Amino acid sequence: MSYLKVIHCTLCLKHGYVGVYSKPVLFKITHLARISTAQNWRSKVPLKTQTTATVKNKVTQDTRVWKETPSYDRKSNTGQYCLMLSKSRLTSLVVLTSMAGYALAPAPFQLTTFAFCAVGTGLVSAAANSINQYHEVPFDAQMSRTKNRVLVKGLLEPVHAIGFAALTSSVGLGVLYFGVNPLTAALGAGNLILYTSVYTPMKRMSILNTWLGSVVGAIPPLMGWAGCTGGLDAGALVLGALLYSWQFPHFNALSWNLRPDYSRAGYRMMAVTNPALCRRVALRHTGIITATCLVSPYIGVTNTWFALESLPLNIYFMYLAWQFYQKSDSASSRKLFRFSLVHLPALMLLMLVNKKYWSSSDTQEQTDTKIQDVGILDKRITVLPRGPVVVAQGNDKQC
């Protein structure tokens, strides 16, 4: 109480309230005194020092319009940035289709050539994606899906993207040329030029970029087929046709929900310029995929079981495309896009399981067997001469 009286007398003398006793004032003074006394007892530090420390620890809010760009350690994150430049998910899909083309080809399987084909295809795809990002930096910055890419955020400089593309393209094409064959390297080089120099600028010029991009997606399985057999035949064209048609429901469904971004960046996509055509083309090519799978046994790529086993998969794919065509909303497009990611690996797996010829010797043996059967039939057939048949009769000397 002596401490409270001292504080009370001090305040009264300061404000001129000598001898005045006020309960509200005294209650406030008592409450403040209890708080300050309790803090003083706990900390055992003078009251003046505590007040100074509280002021010093006060955090000021940053109200600046701009802020410093954080620095990133490029040396420790080089591998991660290279994967982002190469679009690792897209490159993995390209390599998968190339491996499927190699495995489905009717030729002996060689592990070394198979590995060289996969590595070379992946490096060339990484180079193409790096150059694509180099050209589209100002447009990627306007899209929510691409605004976090390494060049847009400044994690890497444009010179790094060009250097990475030059290194991966030269090594990849060299691996394909010397480790596989010249035809596979030529297909890889042509696809690199087509993707970076024709498809990329056409995205802002015409909706034909989607058809051209489908050609780009259909070449990797041809590279795998050529890497295994050394050439291209009807079976390779069937596989390329499947990959070509698969691009349309896959990409059209993806671009449907990205129309605001594509429109903002100035890309000429079917989903933006002609939404009705976008839905029709997606539905049409699911039907082409179904027809191609039914025809593949007659061309000699797969057996008859593949046509039957792939039919439910393709019918459901067509059903989702029909739903997208009818409803044309984000839910139906999202279902179609997600199923397309399952449809392609499942279709490739069914083709591999139901492969008709596992090597070129199988086809040669069947051809030789047919020739031998025809020869045996020729030997068994006797051709009768034309004209009357003369029967020789012997002389009867007894008559």
Q: What pLDDT was estimated at residue 72? A: 64
Residues 237 and 346 in one domain: yes
Question: What pLDDT, on the 0 to 100 scale, is given for residue 106?
Answer: 86
Higher pLDDT, 381 or 222: 222
Q: What is the mean pLDDT of the chain?
A: 80
pLDDT of residue 328: 87
Question: Which of 9-18, 341-350, 388-397 is most confident?
Answer: 341-350
Predicted pLDDT at 153: 87
Residue 384 lies in a domain: no
Query: Is residue 85 a part of any domain in this protein?
Result: yes
Give CA–CA dist 44/50, Å, rounded: 10
Domain shared by 85 and 193, yes or no: yes
What is the rounded average pLDDT of the residues 154-159? 88
pLDDT digits (tens, 9 = 90+) for 15-42: 554 444 445 544 554 554 455 544 544 5
Q: How many domains does the chain have?
A: 2
Tell me what pLDDT residue 7 has.
Answer: 56
Q: Report the distance separating Cα 277 and Cα 284, nearest Å.
A: 10
Looking up residue 208, the CATH number of its domain turns out to be 1.10.357.140
Residue 399 in any domain: the answer is: no
Based on the domain organization, do 298 and 172 belong to the same domain? no
User: pLDDT at residue 109 above 60?
Assistant: yes
324, pLDDT greater than 60: yes
Reported as a single tens digit per residue, the pLDDT across 255-301 is 999 998 888 888 889 999 999 999 999 999 999 999 999 999 888 88
Asked, for residue 392, whether it belongs to a domain, the answer is no
CA distance from start to end of the chain: 176
Query: Any residues with CB less than 8 A from the CB of 148 and at least 6 apart, and which?
Result: none
Residue after which a domain boundary falls, among 198, 231, 264:
231
Q: Are residues 99 and 196 in the same domain?
A: yes
Task: Give the pLDDT mean for 150-156.
Answer: 88
For position 219, what pLDDT does the model report? Answer: 95
Could you give the 3-state DSSP secondary structure of residue 144? coil
Residue 263 inside a domain? The answer is: yes
| Token pair 């055509």: residue | 277
Domain assignment present for residue 278? The answer is yes
- State percent of the chain over pLDDT 90: 51
Q: Which of 163, 196, 231 is the last residue of a domain?
A: 231
Judge whether 251 lies within some domain.
Answer: yes
Burial of 342 (0-12, 13-18, 19+ CB in 10 A): exposed
**Domain membership flag for residue 62:** no
Give the residue with greater pLDDT, 388 vs 248.
Answer: 248
My answer on whether 123 and 201 are in the same domain is yes
Distance in angstroms (rounded) separating the CA atoms of residues 224 and 99: 6
Domain extent at residue 319: 233-357
Give the domain-ending residue among 205, 231, 257: 231
Whether residues 106 and 224 share a domain: the answer is yes
Burial class of residue 271, CB neighbours in 10 A (0-12, 13-18, 19+): buried
Q: How far apart are CA 97 and CA 103, in angstroms?
A: 10
Do residues 124 and 224 both lie within one domain? yes
Per-residue model confidence (pLDDT) at position 356? 78
- Same domain for 257 and 154: no
Per-residue pLDDT tens for 335-346?
Answer: 999 999 999 999
| 79, 225: one domain | yes
What's this model's pTM, rounded to 2 decimal places?
0.72
Verify that 208 and 237 share a domain, yes or no.
no
Same domain, 262 and 118: no
282 and 337 share one domain = yes
**147 DSSP 8-state letter:** T
